Every structure is written in C-alpha cells, then in structure tokens.
Copies of this chain bind each other. A is one copy, B any other.
Amino acid sequence: MRKLVFVIISFFNTAMLFAQNDDSIFIRRIADEILVNGKAYENLRYLTKQIGGRLAGSPQMVKAEQWGLKVMMGSGADKSWLQECMVPHWVRGGQDQARADYRKGKKTLDIVALGNSMGTGTKGVRAEVIEITTFEDLEMKQDKIKGKIVFYNYKFNPKFIKTFLSYGDAVPYRGQGASRAAKYGAVAVIVRSMTHSTDNNPHTGAMNYIDSISNRRIPAVAIGLRDADWLSNLLQKESVHVFFTTNGHFLPDTVGHNVIGELTGSQFPDQVITVGGHLDSWDVAEGAHDDGTGCVQTIEILKTFKSLHYTPKHTIRFVLFANEENGSRGGDKYTEEAKIKREKHIFALESDAGGFTPRGFGFTIPDSLFQKVLSWKELFFPYGGSEFTRGGGGSDIGPLNRTFGTTLAGLSPDSQRYFDLHHARNDVFESVNKRELELGAINMAALVYLVDKYGL
C-alpha cells in the first residue's frame, strides 16, 4: 500500500514537473518576447506625450479612447469595441493660485485644487489659517474653526513599508476633510499632500462633499510638503492668512467609454478573464504611472499572446477602463453589462499601482483557490513577481467580485516611489523605467496564462 501511494505520488510529482517545465518554458518565451520586441514603452510614450492628462470628460479622454481602440485592433484582438458609459465632467477651470500673508510679507504657495471640489470663483477666499493635525484635533478645536481656513497637516506615515498603507491612513483628510471642516464653519480647507516625497509638488485626487456631515460645499486644495512645513512652522509663531483662488466646477455628465479588446476562448468562450488598467488620469500631469502603465501593460499581454500564437481556452478581455479617478463609472458599467448579458467572469486582474518593478500580486480569492495559485508561485520567482498575498484587485474590477464573486488579483509593484508622483505634476513618461514596466507586463501575462490554462 505504501509502495502504491509512493508510486502514485511519484507519478503526480512527475506529471506536475512536466507541466511546470512546460509552463516555465512558455513564461520564458513571454518574457523574451516582451523584453526584446515589447511595445509597451513606446505605447506609453504616445499616450503620455501625444495625448497627455485625460480626465473624464476632457478632449484628451476622447483622443485616448480612439488611440486605445486602434492599438487594441493593431495588437491582434479578435474583436475590439468601445463600451459606452456616462462619466462625470469636472473641470479645473483655470489656474489654482495661493498666497500666504504674514507679519513679514507674502509667500506664494504651491497648491492644486482637489478633484470634484467647487472653486472659489474669481474673488477667491481669504481667511486666517488654523492648523489641524487629526480629525480628533478638529473635534477638540471645533469652536475655533468658524470663518477660518482649516489646514489639515496630517503626515504621511513613513513607518509603513508598503506605502499604500500610508495612503490609506492619510487619504480620509483629502476625501472627507472639507465636509468635516465645513460642519464647524470653515470657509475652505488646505490639505497636506498624500506623499513623503522630498519635493514641493502638490498632489490632487478625489474629494467628496458628504451632505450627511455638512451641506456647505467649501473649496479644497492640496499643498506641497515644503510649503506645508513652512506654514506649520510659521503658525507656531504668528497668525497667518491665506488667500487662494480655484475655479473647479462640474459640467453635465458626458459620454465616455471603456476600450475593450477580446481574444475569444477556444474551449470556454463563455468564461471570461479580464485584465485591465484605467485610461483616465488627473489633469495635472501625463498620467504615466497612474495609470498609463496599467493600460500599456494590458495591451502588451494581448500583443504577446498573438505574437506567440497562444490560443486561449477562455475568453480574455483586455480593458482600458473609463473614469476610475473621480467616479468609477467605467468599472461599474463593465460589471452592469456583464450582469445583463449573464456573462461568467472567472478572474480579473488589474494593474493600477504604478509601472514599477514587480513584487507580486494581491489576491481576493477563496482559501481553496489560493492554494492552487500558490502552487504557481515559483514560476514567478525569476521575474520578481512571486510575493502572493491576500487582499487586492483594483477599483475597476472590484464590482465583478462584489456582483459575481469573481476572483481578483492586482499587480503589486514595488511601492516606494509611487506616492512621490501620484496625482502630481511629475507623473510623467520620464519617471517610468522601460524594463520595470516590461517586467510588470511579463508577470501579468504569466498569471493570465496560468489561469487560462488551469482554470480557477
């Protein structure tokens, strides 16, 4: 009996070994193709330099959609199309400007209006500044807020090794800060940028007016770190007034699109694997790492599968999602239509954490399937993407999991540099390294290949 068990185990081990060898050989071919013939970097150059920032509703959004559709077709999709969805249309409306007035003089401050915020109008807003370090601090000082500009100076925590934890920790000040301050009569808010960069670039990003907290919609801006520290130091010594003008406002919702390319499955055409990034970006930069890199990596996988004549068993959809930054309408639409059409979505992968050197993937997945995925881990080791952790996915694919229970994965690149440029003017093509970008695409392609081959 023990001998039989041994023979059976040996057989399975050998079978597994052969399978693993086939897989490691095919993944090596993926890597060689991307490293030698890859187009992700040149595609990114076009998207960032020829089109640029592409906020939902902007003319650049339209150009980017047309570009995406063309590249999907040129990369060998069996089908490609635009999936229409209505998107919000927030515009910055002009240049954001700020100045501090203090005892000894005036100082220009480097600010940027938060996305979705209402502008001050041409008159601007001028008031004394009160520094608030935490929401608890705000509650303690609620009697002193009225008529003032609240300056949230909550620091991006340097102790988290994974910087997304610092972001999650700090971002409520950007998201809810305005309404919470408005509740106590503040006339505007200035938020310390969500970054530990060493420069002074302010970082924008979505904010929301939360009517259940306050129905007053006050202007909201982010400030660069050097200016934030300067302001904080000065406030220890004297009162400071800040004057700023912003012009943000909403226009009526407009038509946007998810850009979709498809390789139709040879065995299970009705079972869908989705891989994507989001095509929109904030307007202040070129949207290189957020999320041009995710888009061109997605297209690179399509191109690579075609170049290697890989015929997928399942249908694979390559999706450039609309409007992740200030509405998530693209991701919502994709799932809504899948529900209407009763599609079966077995797996979705998103790259939306920057085009940096890959570390691994985060999975939203049942325990039993995670064991299966873990058995593939060694295949990723040579390409840097073997850290498989629980939790993860992406904003745009999240609805698939919530609606269908679809297993999700998110590419986890090294996170040290991301918040140096996230939503700031330095998120440009030059900040992306060609090989780091390509290694991300290699690891993503390998994961899609394994899910397609072995199912989930």
Contact = CB atoms under 8 A, between A and B. Distances in A.
Contacts of A41: 198
Contacts of A384: 161, 359, 414
A333 interface: no
A117 interface: no
A416 interface: yes
A436 interface: yes
A164 to B, nearest CB: 13
A420 B35 CA distance: 15
23 contacts: A31-B159, A31-B161, A35-B158, A36-B158, A36-B159, A41-B198, A158-B435, A161-B382, A161-B383, A161-B384, A161-B439, A163-B435, A196-B435, A357-B357, A357-B414, A357-B416, A359-B384, A414-B414, A416-B433, A416-B436, A417-B433, A417-B436, A420-B433
Given A158-B435, A357-B414, A416-B435, 10 more contacts: A31-B159, A31-B161, A41-B198, A161-B383, A161-B384, A196-B434, A357-B357, A384-B414, A416-B436, A417-B433
A78 interface: no
Contacts of A383: 161
A32 interface: yes
Nearest to A196: B435
A439 B415 CA distance: 12
Interface string A10-52: 0000000000000000000001100110000100000000000
Which of A163, A382, A433 gathers the greatest number of chain B CB atoms within 10 Å?
A433
Which of A41, A163, A382, A416 gathers the greatest number of chain B CB atoms within 10 Å?
A416
Nearest to A35: B158
A436 B197 CA distance: 12
Contacts of A159: 31-32, 35-36
A136 to B, nearest CB: 21
Contacts of A434: 196, 198
A32 B161 CA distance: 10
A158 B31 CA distance: 10
A173 B198 CA distance: 39
Contacts of A382: 161
Nearest to A383: B161
A382 B158 CA distance: 14
Contacts of A417: 433, 435-436
Interface string A170-213: 00000000000000000000000000101000000000000000
Nearest to A386: B387
Contacts of A161: 31, 382-384, 439
A417 B439 CA distance: 12
A80 to B, nearest CB: 29
A45 to B, nearest CB: 10
Contacts of A196: 434-435
Nearest to A38: B158
A231 to B, nearest CB: 22
A20 to B, nearest CB: 18
A433 B436 CA distance: 15
Nearest to A434: B198
A441 to B, nearest CB: 13
A384 B382 CA distance: 16
Rank and list the top 3 A-B pairs by shortest CB-CB distance, nearest first.
Answer: A35-B158, A416-B435, A357-B414
Interface in A412-445: 414, 416-417, 420, 433-436, 439
